[in-house]
Amino acid sequence: MKTVLITGCSSGYGLETARHFHARGWQVFATMRTPRADLLPRSPRLHVLPLDVTRPESIASALAAAGPIDVLVNNAGLGLFGALEATPMATVRDIFETNTFGTMAMTQAVLPQFRARRAGRVVNVTSSTTLAPMPLVAAYTASKTAIEGFTESLALELGAFGVQVKLVQPGYAPTTRFTANGAERMQGLIPEAYADYARSVFAQLGQSTAVTSEQDVAEAVWRAANDTTPTLRYPAGADAVALAAQIR
C-alpha cells in the first residue's frame, strides 16, 4: 500500500485530493494548520495531522508522525487578488512564505528519505497564472512561477537518484474557498483608482465557462503521482489545458 502526504487539506484542492487518493486504496496523511478530522472519512488509512509549512518544527513533527511516504503533494497555498501598488510588502512576504518557501521547505525535508530509497515523488501544485498572464495577481503569480522554475531544476537534480518531481497547474476555480479564505488579507488591495478596471476583470472572469473543479485538480495530482512517463506538467481543468496547448 502506497502512502501520500498532502499539505493544505482543510478545503478545496487538498481536501478533494485526500479523498481521491483514499478512495483508490492509498494511505493518506492529510495535513492542515488546524486539524479537522470531521472533514474526511473515518478510516485506518486516513490520518489528519497538524502542519504549518512556514514553521520548521511543524514540518519535522508532521513528517516524523507520518513515517516513510511515497509521494509528497505540496498543495498548501495562499491566494491574493489586488493591485500591487496597494499591496503591503509584508503581505507579499506572507504569500511567498507559504506558496514558495513552504513548498521548498517541505520538499527539502522529504528528500533524504527519497534519496536513500532511490524512490519517491514530489507533486507541486502551482497555477495556470504561470501559463498566461492575468491582472491583479502579480505577487501571487510570482510566488507560483518561482515554484515552476524550482521544480524544473529539481527534476533534473533528483533524476539520478530515482526521485521524480512534477507540476500540477490548476485553472480558474471560482467555486473553491481559496479566495474566500484570504478575504481579510485582501481588504483594501483594490484602491479607488483601480476600481473600474477591477470590476471589468471580475466581470470577464464571471463570464468564463471553462473553469476548473476540485475534482479536476485531484485527478491531475493522481496522474502526476502515478504516471511513469517523463511528463513534468499536468494542467488541471479545461481552461488550463487549453492554455497549455497554446504555448506548446
Cα gap 160→105, rounded to integer Å = 21
pLDDT range class, residue 7, cuts 50, 70, 90: very high
- Secondary structure of 26-77 in the HEC alphabet? CEEEEEECCCCHHHCCCCCCEEEEECCCCCHHHHHHHHHHHCCCCEEEECCC
Domain interval for residue 237? 3-246
Cα gap 197→29, rounded to integer Å = 42
At 46-59, the pLDDT tens digits run 999 999 999 999 99
Mean pLDDT of all residues in 22-46? 96
Q: What CATH code is carried by the domain that includes residue 172?
A: 3.40.50.720
pLDDT range class, residue 185, cuts 50, 70, 90: low
Cα gap 227→219, rounded to integer Å = 12
- pLDDT attached to residue 177: 47
Mean pLDDT of all residues in 98-120? 98
Q: Does pTM top 0.75 for this prediction?
A: yes
Higher pLDDT, 211 or 68: 68
Higher pLDDT, 218 or 183: 218
**Which residue numbers are catalytic?**
140
Name residue 170's beta-bridge partners.
236
The count of structural domains within the chain is 1
Mean pLDDT, the chain, rounded, equals 93
Higher pLDDT, 205 or 174: 205
* Strand intervals (E) in 121-232: 121-125, 164-170
